[in-house]
Amino acid sequence: MLRKLVALAVTAALFGSGLGSTDALAETVSTERHKVTVSTLADKLEKPWGMAFLPAGDLLITEKSGTLRRVTLSGDISSPLSGVPAVVDRSQGGLLDIAVDPNFGDNQYVYLSYSEADPQGGEGNSTAVMRAKLTANGLTNGKVIFRGAPKYKSGAHFGSRLVFAPDGHLFITLGDRYSAMNDAQTLDNHHGKVVRIKPDGSVPSDNPFVGKQGALPEIWSFGHRNVQGAAIHPTTGKLWTVEHGPKGGDEINIPEAGHNYGWPEATYGVDYDGSIISDKTHVEGTVQPHYYWVPSIATSNMIFYTGDKFPAWKGDLLVAALKGSQVARLDLDGDRVMHEETLFEEAVTQRIRDIEQGPDGYIYLITDDRNGQLIQIKPAQ
């Protein structure tokens, strides 16, 4: 009896706020290949940004204001977990992505990306990544393993997806900070870059710019705008990314070590006021996007579907989007995009900020709203 009372007390401490549980009323949606149900599991998340599944099946979900919560698939939302770093919650900044260490069962490490103020007291900020151990009540032993350089006074374009490669290295996607867009073409800063580090923050010796004078050694690829989606191809093991274009020109890329992806010298978009950023869509020495959208769909995150619950989607790339509250399903033949289908735009009414595949093989979405939702996609019976 005492053991049962202790278990109930722990549950009450984590989930005692009573936030967010909602009846999972399912809407049935027909797609080209599957009939699915779209169910809201929780609907009181405060502008959620990133999510990651724990091995036991619960989710860790970040809220942009600086809160980390543990959420069950029955819709229970925990009280805020302790140990989260201070964030600059302004414009596009805040607490952003979260990733679980591939060896979590042994080390209990999780990784958070966020907009960090200048530790020296300056007005600038940048994307940072902290590693910490997850306990029953929160995070302990937090250590900043990456700080974007330089600190820059802007509230825009932090990028900030975290994804582990099969070799255990951590990719961090970054943004160009908007008004510093030209920095994406130089190697003395992290603006508009994808970086690659070891889980402890050290630099792999085979990174492409290690030892090059004037280049930051963490850089993997450059010439990006604002990379907010990343996934590892399940067959090739290569990194794929998706980045916001300006007005038009959202891009999927397959970033290779040391390659330049063109921004802002080449783009398929124009500025938000219609003015020309570049009159070129390709510049010699830069890589063309693997796939792009004109007009933009305002891409967020993406996954390769690898489960068995939706067999006709297996191997497809699912790209979540803020505009139109949709998921773009890209039918792949190897790396080639053969067909695009728009999913869920009528069933989901809020901007989709993140997409993940659960351990159960179902698909999960979170929406970018002050009453943000956790949504589950299942096959219809």
CA 357 from centre of chain: 13
Structure tokens at 344: 């869920």
Neighbours of 97 (CB within 10 A): 27
In degrees rounded to 5, what are phi and psi of residue 290?
A: -70, -30
Q: Residue 63: in which H helix or E strand, if any?
A: strand 59-63
Bridge partners, residue 146, by sequence: 129
CA angle 193-199-201, nearest 5°?
A: 65
Question: In degrees rounded to 5, what are phi and psi of residue 185?
Answer: -100, 0
Q: Where are the alpha helices (DSSP H) in 168-266?
A: none
Residues known to be catalytic? 157
Cα distance between residue 356 and residue 343, in whole Å: 15
Give the residue carrying structure tokens 């990379």.
227
Taking the CB of residue 321, how many other CB atoms lie within 10 A of it? 27
Give the β-pairing of 352-357 and 336-343: unpaired
- Please state, in angstroms and rounded to a whole number, the distance separating the CA atoms of residues 199 and 80: 25
Residue 70 backbone zone (phi > 0: left; psi -120 to 50: alpha; other: beta): beta
Tokens of 39: 């169910």
Rounded Cα distance between 220 and 134, Å, is: 29
Render the burial of 241-250: b for 16+ CB within 10 Å, e for the rest.
Answer: bbbbbbbebb
Q: How far apart are CA 376 and CA 200, in angstroms?
A: 33
The alpha carbon dihedral of 357, 364, 27, 32 has a sign of negative
What is the Cα–Cα distance from 179 to 184, expressed in whole angstroms? 11
Q: Which amino acid would we find at residue 259?
A: H
